Chains A and B, each alone.
Chain A
Amino acid sequence: MNEKKKKASFLTTEFYLALFLILVLAFLGVAARDFYSINNIMSLLNTFSYILISAIGMNMIIITSNIDVSTGALISVVCLFTAAIGKTGVPFAGLLPAAMLMGAVLSTMNGLFITKMKIPAIVATLATTQIFQGVLPLLVEGSIYDLPASFTWLAFDAKVFGIIPASVLICLIVTVIALIFMKYSKFSKKIYAIGNNAKGARLAGVNVNKTIVITYAIAGALFGISAVIIATAGQRVTNTMGTGLEMTFIAAVVLGGTSTAGGSGKIIGTVIGAFILAMIAPAINYLGISPNWSDAVKGAIIIISVVVSGAKYLKKKRVIHKGSTVEAGGGAS
């Protein structure tokens, strides 16, 4: 029995996902060699970077048993804001903190609506989506064009070893910090506790509202980083830069094994989830299948993954009742 349990803890959702990913990558190596061209891998990594950075923020929000559907609109606002500053020639070193701050401020608004006004997260962020989208046309009529070279520096010139996009480096730094933070910090324990049982957490002395607002603020700063990567991809920024992205982020989180009910979920799962989502569209193109299929394939993978991990969870619960409480506590590590 004991041995069995050990084995089971090794066969996690993340493990299956990683296995799936390796199989797909191996298959691509045989069926579509060109997929591994430097250009394709680097542009894939760039997409992966901005998805993952935001997905980490989204993961934290979802662990607290909340959600944010305003992220796409928020990123659009931050992109325009960044472009407006960038137009004046502010270099990347200035754009990044400005965007993170703007993202954090807007996202804190979400957190305050949810905690202070007691609006359910989905309703609050749906409302702020409208506010952000409504503000966009007021901020700027249309697009910002002809942005200077200092603005597009990150995408056009900043390459580590002359080949890897700097966005990947940013992503790596964010991911490592997030891994350490979510594993060892006291704050992360609070996040998991709130997601598992908000009432219990409050009774245990956790300031639930404050923690949620801070979580949204941190996530907002991460959305800001993604926004900079997205905005600086070209010398033209429109007011639809982030449209539809929130669903990609939520999908990466869910695919990575985080329960939408909150309380569990690991960064490493999100990393793999984001990579799979970033990979599908180019993979399908290189395999010679019409790109129209990519969304359908993404959807199918998410459903299969959620069903599989759901089934596993149920099975575990049935076998050893005690184990499930251990599991819930274990989620925090």
Chain B
Amino acid sequence: MKAKELMKRAAGGALAAVMVLSMLTGCSKTEAPKAETKTEDDASKDAKDSDGDMTIAMLPKFKGENYFDACKTGAQEAADELGITLLYDGPSQDQATNQKQVDILEGWIAQGVNVIVVSPNDPTAIAPTLKKAQDAGIKVVTFDADAQEDSRDIFVNQITAESAAKGLLDGAANDLKAKGYGADKTANIALVSSSGTDANQKAWEDAINALLETDDYNFMKIKNKETDVYYPGTDETKVNSECATLIGRMGEGEDKIQAAIGLSSMATPALGAQYQSASSKPDAKIVSMTGLATPNALKTYIKDDENPLNSGVLWNCMDLGYLAVQTAYQLSEGTITPDATTIDAGRLGAKDIVDAQCVLGDALVFDASNVDEFDY
């Protein structure tokens, strides 16, 4: 399996390189000549500096998932507002590896962009490349997921693990309470995580476990961490079949599961879909499902009264992209430094910066009443 993966990557590299090149040349007229040669590059960089024109390059974990598409929309909005150029590129979804990200970064470093905004697939493996960028005088901002701390200037954090866990548990707890659970009637919950190595999911799981100890949430429990926390990885069919297995285990009683929480943007829609396709559905009046996903991915299930998936949790992705570009711009302009304590982020107002981390805010919980307001 590993060797096969490797071969896939090697052969895919060439293809991706072609695609990246075509992306770069297609970006904008002023950018096109820069991608061609290095010597021209420096000249155009000088010209660019005298113009006061700034180029911010944004690298998501991968392109295509509408989560990052929404980030891009927000980023573009900020770029238009500030009158700067935004480059946006990333690996395709099935090739979301560190190596692919490094390839793209190398291109941008050679091109001499002003700031790199990145959501790393691997926080440590990407660090040397980010440091190389910093050595070349490029500011580095991470967003969505952090990199090794010394390899970036500021991390734009969408949410703290605590707020994410609270949002998810609130979604489940409120629904369960409405269905008659509480201190005198406990509920078993199950989590559907991602691959088990992802930094975000790990942090959220820990925060959820911590919150489950507190009085507000201790009527819910994870009975058996071996079997009730799923790690289906990122294969669509595997996520689907494991969610189907989980739904088969849901129902009333001590040995059944009453609430399922999806921790990845793949798992939560899979829960909704598998409930919909289950042959004998556990009664929606006694079970509950919620989780992390974009509103678009859950819309159908949330609006369906017979589906126990009634709410979803996320942060405002567009705002995340917006804040990331605002931070990048101000960092490059010198309006803020990594040890600043606050940033005036345009339409978002003032945001706090603590330990070189700028936090966007609390979780965004959406349900049938507001799911249509979001288009991502």
A residues contacting B by CB (< 8 A) are 34, 37-40, 42-43, 46-47, 50, 69, 76, 126-127, 129-130, 133-134, 136-137, 140-143, 145-146, 152, 155-156, 159, 163-165, 230, 233-236, 238-245, 247, 281-282, 285-286, 288-292
Query: 20 A-B residue contacts at CB 8 Å?
Result: A34-B249, A34-B255, A38-B280, A42-B278, A43-B279, A127-B11, A136-B92, A137-B93, A142-B66, A143-B66, A233-B240, A234-B240, A234-B270, A234-B276, A235-B273, A242-B236, A243-B236, A281-B242, A282-B245, A289-B226
Output the nearest chain A residue to B266 by Cβ-Cβ distance.
A238
Contact in complex: A156, B277 (CB < 8 Å):
yes
- Which listed segment binds A: B77-85, B140-148, B294-302? B294-302
B274 within 8 A of A: yes
Contact in complex: B94, A134 (CB < 8 Å):
no
B residues contacting A by CB (< 8 A) are 1, 4, 7-8, 11-12, 15, 19, 63-66, 69, 92-95, 196, 224, 226-227, 230-232, 234-238, 240-242, 244-245, 247-249, 255, 266, 269-270, 272-274, 276-282, 296-297, 299-300
A235-B274 Cα distance, complex, nearest whole Å: 11
A39-B280, A155-B276, A165-B279 are contacts. A134–B63 as well, Cβ < 8 Å? no
Contact in complex: B241, A236 (CB < 8 Å):
no
Contact in complex: B273, A134 (CB < 8 Å):
no
- Please tell me which one of the listed residues A164, A240, A289 contacts residue B93 in the complex, with CB atoms under 8 A apart: A240
Q: From DSSP, what is the main secondary structure of chain B's interface residues?
A: helix
- Please tell me which one of the listed residues A40, A155, A245, A247 contacts residue B248 in the complex, with CB atoms under 8 A apart: A40
A314 to chain B, nearest CB (A): 28
Of the candidates B69, B241, B280, the one having the most CB atoms from chain A within 10 angstroms of its own CB is: B241
Please, which residues of chain A bring their CB within 8 A of the CB of B238? 244, 281
Contact in complex: B280, A242 (CB < 8 Å):
no
Top 8 nearest A-B pairs (CB, nearest first) are A234-B273, A142-B64, A43-B244, A40-B248, A39-B248, A42-B279, A155-B277, A137-B92
Please, which residues of chain A bring their CB within 8 A of the CB of B65? 142-143, 238
A40-B282 Cα distance, complex, nearest whole Å: 12
Please, which residues of chain A bring their CB within 8 A of the CB of B276? 152, 155-156, 234
Contact in complex: B12, A133 (CB < 8 Å):
yes
Please, which residues of chain B bring their CB within 8 A of the CB of A134? 12, 15, 19
Output the nearest chain A residue to B300 by Cβ-Cβ distance.
A235
Given contacts A130-B11, A142-B66, A156-B277, 8 further A-B contacts (CB under 8 A): A39-B248, A42-B280, A142-B65, A145-B297, A159-B279, A288-B226, A291-B227, A292-B196
Contact in complex: A39, B7 (CB < 8 Å):
no
Output the nearest chain B residue to A159 by Cβ-Cβ distance.
B279
Contact in complex: B248, A142 (CB < 8 Å):
no
Of the candidates B15, B235, B245, the one having the most CB atoms from chain A within 10 angstroms of its own CB is: B245
Please, which residues of chain B bring their CB within 8 A of the CB of A163? 279-280
B58 to chain A, nearest CB (A): 15
A135 to chain B, nearest CB (A): 10
Contact in complex: A285, B237 (CB < 8 Å):
no
B234 to chain A, nearest CB (A): 7
